[in-house]
Amino acid sequence: MSADGTIIAVAILPAPWPPPRQVELFSKSVGENRLTLSVEPSGVFVIDVERLQRPPISRRFGPVAASAAARVALVLKWSVDEIWLEVSGVDIPLATQTSLPIPLTAVRGGSVPRRTALQSHSIPADASEDERFFLNTLRDIEQKLVAYDRYALIRASGLIRQLLLEGLVHRANRTHRVPLTFTTIDFTTGPPGAPKEHWLDLDPDPFPGAATVTCSLDQFLAAPCLTWGGVSATVRDVISVCANAKGGVHLGIARTEREQSLLDWDQILVVTGEEPSLAALVGICRVTLVGLNNLVAALTGASTPPRP
């Protein structure tokens, strides 16, 4: 390779696992090089790099044990002559004839976001009605993320809409006036290879070491997180379509071109068991809950959970 670099991606593993034949997960151009990641029937990940005017590189990692159709975080790092692979936070060693399968877990699951102040503190008796409603709303969102089923996530979109788009967070913040900031995966640069269709998980927790940005509420709501058919949808669009069309609050039709684009993509991919709008919504919920730590701490008298 011509320089050091890193690619971070989320992939859905083949079903069944391991696959009955070699399956390509993705292929990306990186400068003058072409990098391809595939999986062998043995459960081994294979990275092949075609290089201009230099011999190709091929490395085999694993094998790994995983659930069929599991959603995993992939981190591929390279130097001039070497490649490293990390899957869902696990460094995968080079495969040998005696390598035992390495157990993996999916990126997403039924767990609340880390570092949320609300988890271990009760609502004060002297909290105002707005503050109490705000804290109960956060708790309700946490519970729906734990449930992690389609109905619960759609319902969570209505709560997020009320929280961020309808001003509940500002009503709860009238007394303390805590600055509201949200830390996300860096959305200011596009994904490698500029794919025409993609979604971005804005939650940085599953991707240690990934570039992040800290933004205001308005910037967070304007952050692009899905692209489909040449239309880019923002956090606000995802919340709106899930709340206004999918049933978070209303069960109806899309109101804008961006909302309809999201519904179209959902309809196409739902046969694979994935809905991009809900996948993006999970990251939005997690970023929101962690971003509101300081306000929760101010309202409950709790210490803000430390950053890892």
Model confidence pLDDT, tens digit, residues 174-210: 999 999 999 998 888 755 444 455 566 788 877 666 7
- Mean pLDDT of the 295-308 span: 70
pLDDT at 221: 95
Q: Is 132 exposed, middle or buried (0-12, 13-18, 19+ CB in 10 A)?
A: middle
d(CA 118, CA 44): 41
Query: In the structure, what pLDDT confidence band is assigned to residue 230 with cuts at 50, 70 and 90?
Result: low
- Mean pLDDT of the 224-242 span: 79
pLDDT exceeds cutoff 50 at 71: yes
pLDDT exceeds cutoff 90 at 107: no
Within 10 A of 229 (CB to CB), how many other CB atoms are there?
11
Structure tokens at 191: 């994904």
What digits encode the pLDDT tens for the residues 24-54? 887 777 667 778 888 999 889 998 888 777 7
pLDDT exceeds cutoff 60 at 113: no
